[in-house]
Amino acid sequence: MSAIHVNHLRKVFKVQKNREGLKGAFQDLFKRQYNQVAAVDDISFQIPRGEICGYIGENGAGKSTTIKMLTGILVPSSGQIEVNGMIPYKDREKFVRGIGVVFGQRSQLWWDIGVIESFQLLKKVYRVPENDFKMRLDEIVERLQLSEILNRPVRKLSLGQRMRCELAASLLHNPSILFLDEPTIGLDIVVKTEIREFLKEMNQKYETTILLTTHDLQDIEALCSRVIMLDQGHIIYDGGLQNLKDKWGKGKEVHFQFQKTYPLSTLHDLTKGLNVKWFKENELAAKVWIPQNEVNVSDVLSRIVGFTDISDIKIFETNTDEIVREIYKSGSAEKAKEVVASNV
């Protein structure tokens, strides 16, 4: 049974059209014009239990709107949602007991009281039995190293400490689905790594389904087996991350560090017949661009290695950032492929 089931989901906002200038403002006063803006436009997907799914897209692509509909905050304009076997916006109070929510930009905790007191309050609100609460709290506190900050008021915590507490707060009632909206925004690399590892562990141990939105693709690479990419309210890619890389990765780049100076023409001659591009880095270094699925890296290497004095070789794969940037720019995963193909 799937944890999240979304079918032809749409959310349309009515946005007032502001006319220009003072005259326009005056006209707006009497007769308003509205634009219908579809923040989420006919999306469908399913997420099975225990999956970690990344939800990515540019600012304003509709990520947050989707999360808000999935968590019952917003009522959809049309389409069906089923999360945990329930319709989120109906019977909210019952529904939200089974989910955890972290909004990176907003705090769930009480500003002025100690962290542990916020947790106690949440325990009451979520009706978590004392024993369960204790067990869960001990585990999370130990895992996220919160014991030192438990008694500090939230307003005196650093962002990293606060985020760890937010995460703890969202898991106290052992939700079966966790929604994270930009959970690593503004955090340093140490905290990011900690949070990723923690999420992974929770997912493995409790089979918690996790849906997270992020702009940091390393989050996705570290956590998600699946990515849903959104653009202007439409899903433009839904599938594995590896698949995305395989299909739309452009190729590899090999960096050579030579012991002698070789002119570019020599290198070109050595790789004659192969569709590769050479670039000079400096006197002793050059890099070669090898397009995916056309030329084998080993072919290139075998032609170079025997005929030059090499001190170092590095191989770079196109990183996910670049692929995603390319897709964002073109607006669809299909088109991106064409762009890449024509580039080569």
Partner 1 sequence: MYYTSIFTDYFKTYLKTRMTYRADFLIEVVTDLLFQLTNLFFILVVFLHTNSLGGWSIYEMLFIYGYFMIPYGVFTCFLNLWSFNERYIVKGEMDRILTRPAHNLVQLVLENMDPASLFGSLTGFIIMGYAWFHLDVSFAWYDPFVLQLMVMGSVLIYGGVYILITSLSFFSDSPTGITPMIWNIQNYGRYPVDIYNKVIKFTLTWLLPFAFVGVYPASFFLDKDISQGFALLTPVVGIVFFSIGIIVWNIGVNRYKGAGS
Which stretches of the chain bind partner 1, using CB under 8 A?
Answer: 13, 59, 64-65, 68, 71-75, 89, 92-94, 96-97, 99, 101, 103, 105-108, 110, 112-113, 117, 120-121, 124-127, 181-182
Exposure on the CB side of residue 298, measured as CA atoms within 13 A: 0
Show the CA angle centred on residue 199, arms to residues 193 and 202, nearest 5°.
140
By beta-carbon proximity to partner 1, the closer residue of 194 and 219 is 219
E strand residue ranges, the chain: 2-17, 33-48, 52-57, 78-83, 99-103, 177-181, 209-213, 226-231, 234-240, 251-258, 277-282, 285-291, 310-317
Nearest distance from residue 64's CB to partner 1, in Å?
A: 5
By beta-carbon proximity to partner 1, the closer residue of 121 and 339 is 121
Nearest distance from residue 122's CB to partner 1, in Å?
A: 8
Phi-psi region of 57 (alpha: psi -120 to 50; beta: other; left: phi over 0): left
CA 96, CA 174: separation in Å to the nearest integer? 12
Nearest distance from residue 317's CB to partner 1, in Å?
A: 31
Nearest distance from residue 108's CB to partner 1, in Å?
A: 6
By beta-carbon proximity to partner 1, the closer residue of 93 and 148 is 93
Number of Cβ within 10 Å of residue 281's Cβ equals 11
CA 180, CA 207: separation in Å to the nearest integer? 16
Nearest distance from residue 340's CB to partner 1, in Å?
A: 30
By beta-carbon proximity to partner 1, the closer residue of 6 and 286 is 6
Phi, psi for residue 225 in degrees, rounded to 5: -90, -15
Nearest distance from residue 78's CB to partner 1, in Å?
A: 14
CA 327, CA 344: separation in Å to the nearest integer? 16
By beta-carbon proximity to partner 1, the closer residue of 33 and 225 is 33
Q: Which CA distances in Å does 241 have to 220, 222, 233, 321?
A: 8, 10, 20, 12
Nearest distance from residue 182's CB to partner 1, in Å?
A: 8
Nearest distance from residue 251's CB to partner 1, in Å?
A: 35
By beta-carbon proximity to partner 1, the closer residue of 105 and 342 is 105
CB 41, CB 309: distance < 8 Å: no
By beta-carbon proximity to partner 1, the closer residue of 114 and 239 is 114
By beta-carbon proximity to partner 1, the closer residue of 126 and 328 is 126
Phi-psi region of 41 (alpha: psi -120 to 50; beta: other; left: phi over 0): beta
Phi-psi region of 172 (alpha: psi -120 to 50; beta: other; left: phi over 0): alpha
SS3 for 279?
strand
CB 158, CB 152: distance < 8 Å: no
